[in-house]
Structure 1
Amino acid sequence: MFASEFQEGFGTWMLGYAPFGGGEVGEIAAVAAEVGDGGDDAFHQAFVGLGDRLVAEADTAAGAGHRASASEGYLRASVAYATANRPLFGTPVDPRLLVTHRRARAAFEAGLALRSTPALAFDIPFEDAVMRSYLLPAEGCENERRPLIVLVNGYDATAADLYFASGVAAGRRGYHCLIFEGPGQGSTLYEQGIPLRPDFERVVSAVIDHVADQAIVDEDRIVVSGWSLGGHLAPRAASGDPRVVACIADPGQADLGAGLGGFLRLLGATEDEARDPLNLDDAAAARLMAVIEGDRRLRWSVVQRGFWANGVTDLRSFLRRTAEFTLRDRLDRIRCPVLLTRAENDPLAAGVGAFAVALDAAGVHTTVIDFAAAEGAGMHCEMMNRSLLNRRVLDWLDDVLAP
């Protein structure tokens, strides 16, 4: 749709949310035509314009008493605003990103408040952070005691991303959901500057502490489910909190450091450098950074996003920080069934087979569900067929919790 391949990845991401009310093909095509050959500024302005238009329509609908239309408009606007911000990632934080993010959150919360089953928005304190969080009662079951799925984001993403990726589908299936913006994610990163941390079990345990005593939460059926980097953070959470009775990792990732050598080879590293990625000398680090800086997508992924979300400022610190995200020596602490997804063309899913073997060896009941390109679900997080992902994952969870 977009003239720029770099913009295509950002601009079409929200199409994955279309089945759940997060985007429309025609809207994205119109934005792409407006952007044309324009750069990051044009991309940002076009998606902000879409968000503003959707908010204006939602305001009109709300004023006329059309709650459903208003809710849909506000929620979709939140995704448009978030999409506008993607190319602006990095430090120092672009003032436009903060303005647009605040519009996105306001629209998201306005939309949630007008749902037929309204959500509860609140802040969860955690050390120096305040994590914006939302308890989403299952559709038509807002007063019933039911299982709770704690949805765990990945890099930099917002609560709205999780809402459309998994929250809507889970709510329709009868699950209450808790979504939050932890360290390195959403407002906690954008506005508070608090980066990711490897010991994410402490973060998720604080979230569970905050909501477990809610009357509608069945504290004996608490599930963690993570997507993207959350495919590592969710099992990490399960390894640190015995209240978790099932874990979903999309895709399953046991040790982020295991992929660093392959990443460096793609940048042109020597075999010796790739075998020892945590000890690059100055010359090697400078040479590899030149490759990263010369590729627009790589620069965004590593420098703008990776450095920012991890709170580092150079390649060697980024590699060392990444290697800290591991489940080595923690697998036997997982006491619940685990589901690992594996999309055919997702590089982050390459280690799922080995992860499953390691979990089985540690006595963890493990299931792997594969997703094929022929199903339209072969990409990262099955993004262009989230409906299929949610059906299979929730069927598995129904069976696990049935007894």
Structure 2
Amino acid sequence: MHLSAVLASTLAGVICTSFAEAQNATQKAALASLPLALSPDPEFNFQLLISLGQLPYAAGDILAAAAVLVQNSFYSFNTTFAVLANATYAAAEIAAVPNPVNAQNTYFAASNYYRSADFFLHGNWSDPLIYDYWTGQTLAFNKAIATLPVPGLRITLPAEGFDTVGTYYAVNNSTTKRRTLVIIQGYDAAQEDSYMQMGASAIQRGWNVLTIEGPGQPTVRRYQGLGFIPDYEKVLIPAVNWLANRTDIDMSKLALAGISMGGYLAARAAAYEPRIKALVLDDGVWDVQASIESGFPPELLQIYAAGNQTEFDAIIDDGIVNNASASSSARWGIDQGLWAFKTHSTYNLLQQAAAYKVQNITYLLDIPIFVGNAVDDTDFPVYKQLVSQDKNVTLHNFTGPASYHCQAGDFERSNRAMLGWLETAF
């Protein structure tokens, strides 16, 4: 199908208007049906819940930030959290000498706020704040983990054409071999989020923890300039090699957890790394391309299927990226996808995403698997197809406040379920 420029422009206008309206209506309906509404903007609400869930002692900061946010304004969100991050970091510096515990909690909070300040910046790759805020979050996080009973250890591991980056957290300083959990994130979150969401709870329960990142993920995307790769085992294998050379790791009890789109990345990595003995996928992603496409109207998908890249990208740019009336979730979703997959073309983003399909590797997954299903998740719906196969899979449905994507705002409930399951997985 080939469209003339005039027809394409007309169709773009119709699709853009209907798409923006549909996105806003869908998001408002979803928000109205769920608990814990902190902002009338659904995407802002989700990010506020993430921050709230990671920092149980900082509810006042999050509520204060929510009160001043301007709906659908990325600038409002970024600047509000930048001011909060700077003030919180300054408070941590003051507390560091007289009260190390206060300082640790405050440094963790500052790091979280810097990550929030960065979150909606990725539509402009040349924005220096993408690096400035990340420098702030890393410095604050490093100061926090330096005060843990066993300080967190930052590692850089050579892989195939890039470096895997990670942070190792030991339960104690003994050489006792302990069960160990490797955690990876997905579409947008960082390894620092992995620690706050799941790692700290795992350490409390006697697990050593290693958080890692590869291409497409925050540190590697920024400082190695690499977008996502589908064969995530290239990221994991050097990390497992590193663990195998330590004296405090029980390699017979090595588990892997993937959060959000990490549900695909972890499944793929575990399929090609036999030293992983149990797998947690929360939420899982059966098909990354299909998940992204699910938000597009049929007319737009027809243009994509016809191979009309120029027309497809123009409609996305006009209808979402440069359209102030489009929902914040739609705008951020495209911005983040282009940034993380390192392309300026949404058409190319979808082409790349076609390689991220769990059904291609399920025959290799013969270990115990936990699949978390947030029943109201609209980001990456869980892949129940895996549950229906002849696999050792436990499906856990999260409802109520935990029914958001990856249980945003209620990580303690998800940790009780996932880490409780891991107790019996080996």
TM-score (norm 2): 0.84
Note the alpha carbon deviations across 1:344-365, whole angstroms, 9 max, x for none: 111355352212123x2xxx31
Residue of structure 1 equivalent to 2:20 = none
Residue of structure 1 equivalent to 2:299 = 269
Cα separation, partners in 2 of 1:111 and 1:316, compared to 1, 3 Å: same
Note the alpha carbon deviations across 1:113-132, whole angstroms, 9 max, x for none: 10123211122222343333
Q: Distance in 2 between matches of 1:144 and 1:202?
A: 28
SS of the residue aligned with 2:154? strand
Residue of structure 1 equivalent to 2:3 = none
**2:357 paired residue among 315, 326, 349:** 326
User: Is the counterpart of residue 372 in structure 1 residue 399 in structure 2?
Assistant: yes
- The farther-off stretch of 205-214 and 386-395 is 205-214
User: Is the counterpart of residue 352 in structure 1 residue 377 in structure 2?
Assistant: no
Q: Distance in 2 between matches of 1:186 and 1:89?
A: 11
SS of the residue aligned with 2:106? helix
Residue of structure 1 equivalent to 2:406 = 381
What is the alpha-carbon root mean square deviation over aligned residues? 2.4
1:310: how far off? 0.5
Residue of structure 2 equivalent to 1:117 = 150
Alignment-mate amino acid for residue 126 of structure 1: A
SS of the residue aligned with 1:400? coil
**1:240 paired residue among 272, 281, 304:** 272
1:106: how far off? 0.7
Residue of structure 2 equivalent to 1:307 = 338
User: Is the counterpart of residue 339 in structure 1 residue 339 in structure 2?
Assistant: no
- The farther-off stretch of 189-198 and 170-179 is 189-198
Cα separation, partners in 2 of 1:339 and 1:9, compared to 1, 3 Å: closer
User: Is the counterpart of residue 398 in structure 1 residue 423 in structure 2?
Assistant: yes
**2:91 paired residue among 22, 42, 57:** 57
CA contact (8 A) 1:253 1:348 kept: no
SS of the residue aligned with 1:350? coil
SS of the residue aligned with 1:123? strand
Q: Distance in 1 between matches of 2:348 and 2:415?
A: 36
Cα separation, partners in 2 of 1:58 and 1:289, compared to 1, 3 Å: closer
**1:292 paired residue among 317, 320, 333:** 320
Cα separation, partners in 2 of 1:53 and 1:249, compared to 1, 3 Å: same
CA contact (8 A) 1:292 1:298 kept: no
User: Is the counterpart of residue 9 in structure 1 residue 46 in structure 2?
Assistant: yes
**1:18 paired residue among 37, 55, 59:** 55
CA contact (8 A) 2:123 2:335 kept: yes
1:307: how far off? 0.7
Alignment-mate amino acid for residue 51 of structure 2: M
- The farther-off stretch of 312-321 and 341-350 is 341-350
Note the alpha carbon deviations across 1:151-192, whole angstroms, 9 max, x for none: 011113212111111101111111111012211112111232
SS of the residue aligned with 1:247? strand
Note the alpha carbon deviations across 1:133-158, whole angstroms, 9 max, x for none: 110112x5654310111101111321
CA contact (8 A) 2:184 2:212 kept: yes
CA contact (8 A) 2:55 2:109 kept: no
Q: Distance in 1 between matches of 2:118 and 2:306?
A: 31
1:196: how far off? 0.8
**1:68 paired residue among 92, 101, 113:** 101
Q: Distance in 1 between matches of 2:150 and 2:242?
A: 21
SS of the residue aligned with 2:280? strand
1:79: how far off? 0.2
CA contact (8 A) 2:371 2:393 kept: yes
Q: Distance in 2 between matches of 1:42 and 1:281?
A: 33
Cα separation, partners in 2 of 1:67 and 1:285, compared to 1, 3 Å: closer
Higher relative contact order (CA 8 A, sep 6+): 2
User: Is the counterpart of residue 81 in structure 1 residue 110 in structure 2?
Assistant: no
SS of the residue aligned with 1:88? coil
Cα separation, partners in 2 of 1:365 and 1:344, compared to 1, 3 Å: same
1:243: how far off? 0.3
Q: Distance in 2 between matches of 1:12 and 1:259?
A: 22
1:35: how far off? 4.5
Q: Distance in 2 between matches of 1:366 and 1:260?
A: 25
Note the alpha carbon deviations across 1:323-374, whole angstroms, 9 max, x for none: 110133321212311111111111355352212123x2xxx3111111113x
Residue of structure 1 equivalent to 2:10 = none
Alignment-mate amino acid for residue 58 of structure 1: A
CA contact (8 A) 1:246 1:337 kept: yes
SS of the residue aligned with 2:150? coil
Alignment-mate amino acid for residue 410 of structure 2: N
1:207: how far off? 1.4
